Amino acid sequence: MENYLRKFLEHQQNLDEIERRGDESYGIEFMKLREFSQNIKTENHYSSSEGEKPINIHKNRYKDIVPFDFCRVKLKRKSDETDYINASFIKVSNWRQNYIAAQGPLPKTVDDFWAMIWDYDVTMVVMACQEMEGFPPKCQRYWNISKEEELKFGSLTVRMVLPRAEETIICRKLLVTDGKSKRNVTHLHYTKWPDKFVPKCIDSIIRLITAMREIHPIERPEPLVVHCSAGCGRTGTIMVIDYVKALLDNGKITEKFNLYDVIVEMRKQRMAIVQTQEQYQYVHEAVAKLFREKLQAIESHYYGNRPSMTGNASDDGEYESVMYKPPTMPKIVMLPGPQTAKISTTDKSRTPSPKVDFSKNASYSNNKDDDNTYKNMNSHQKSSTQGLSNKTKLSLNKSLSGDRKNDWNGGGSGAGSYSRSLYEDNPDYPYPIHSEPPKVPAKTYAGQNHLLAQKTPTVEYIYRGVNIGFPVRLKKPKGPRPFRSL
């Protein structure tokens, strides 16, 4: 679906670029819409004879905005021996729920308006105009302005239960009764939309549509009533944006998606849907904003949930890597003096290579006896060479015997020559050697000067990628460290 979203964004950017150059882009497409609407009026299928009858013509707010006969809303409670009201069913593909696009009620049709709401089990009405927008009035008030007020429309009684106002939206909970029957109707009123123009902010319309769908989900079978003054311009803009947003939220944007075609499909059911060029451009900008936000959400979800190479959880804490997590490194706590060093709590923030085998129950002595130190070193070294070849194991055993025993106590050629001679030319060694390690001071490990030992860093068992089997204390090198520390 991401490719289809980007395809639309590229088309919208091309239209904007043409407009910046001073040429027509949105205007050309909108002129095609107007020509389409003019052409279908001549077809018999799109006749509007019912609304043009003398008995009904006074019920139209504008004489050129009349519903088509095949999709007009028919009142079940006839008024003046006619079932006519200036409202149209707008059905979109494969949706159980329909829109009802209606004009703002006139003083003589406000009873019919409430009869339509009751007859078709409507529970949500969205209004996109004001009562007065200059002259003449745009809509007859059909809602309560206070909890104390009670309005009568034919046999129906309307009371306000709960009003709630925001910067651009007023939400009213209305209680409608017909005898013993009662029904709740939500009235969402958008108050900042000028006639035949567009709101200054796209976010406010998206917020209106979001609130509308939180109260009245798309899965509900009852139709959703949307009206402005004529029931086509602002009404159509809201319906188009809401329809595209529902497709986007349900992942139904396909390769065939075309915003122009969506508006054409709705104009086949009510004339002048998206009435002006400004509204046509506004719809494109709103849909482009929705698509950009969707792409950002997809990308952030993808990159935020990518498995970490260390096997740690992602930054947002919502995804835990399923990659292999190597065993954690035991931390060595060196006690002052000749006391015994013991394995303490595990440091989970640092993990060694998975190829190293650790002994979980090992205990190492800080005894200055060279023989005991050598025995511990040699025994644990043997268990850490499982990943090496036999030739390498033999070389390692030889190098850790004899004269090499004195190297770890400060004598001989030191730890540096031990590392180079054993691993630098070994093809089986899987870890690169970056630099020469510092030599081991003679008095640091022996425990004779515990104050000096407390100030020096603790080095882990892994030396050049191999578990050497006992803790070693080194002075902090001046250059980059060639090994990992706890």
Provide the token pair at 229. 């003054």
Question: What order of strands is seen across the sheet that includes strand 82-90?
Answer: 72-79, 82-90, 99-102, 224-227, 124-127, 181-190, 169-178, 156-165, 150-153
Question: Which residue, 233, 192, 242, is CA-closest to 215?
Answer: 242
The total of other beta-carbon atoms located within 10 Å of residue 18's CB is: 15
Question: Which residue, 404, 467, 392, 486, is CA-closest to 440?
Answer: 404
168 torsion bin: left (phi>0), alpha (psi -120 to 50), beta (else): alpha
Report the sign of the C-alpha dihedral through residues 110, 112, 114, 120, in that order: negative
Count each helix (H run) and each strand (E run) in the chain, helices first: 13, 15
Distance CA 168, CA 193 (A): 9
Residue whose tokens read 């979001």: 210
Distance CA 486, CA 476 (A): 13
Question: Which residue, 277, 282, 238, 260, is CA-closest to 100?
Answer: 238
Q: How many residues does the chain have?
A: 486
Query: Catalytic pick from 129, 139, 201, 228?
Result: 228
**What are the DSSP E strand ranges found in 266-422?**
330-333, 342-346
Q: Is position 139 annotated as part of the catalytic site?
A: no
Enumerate the active-site residues: 228
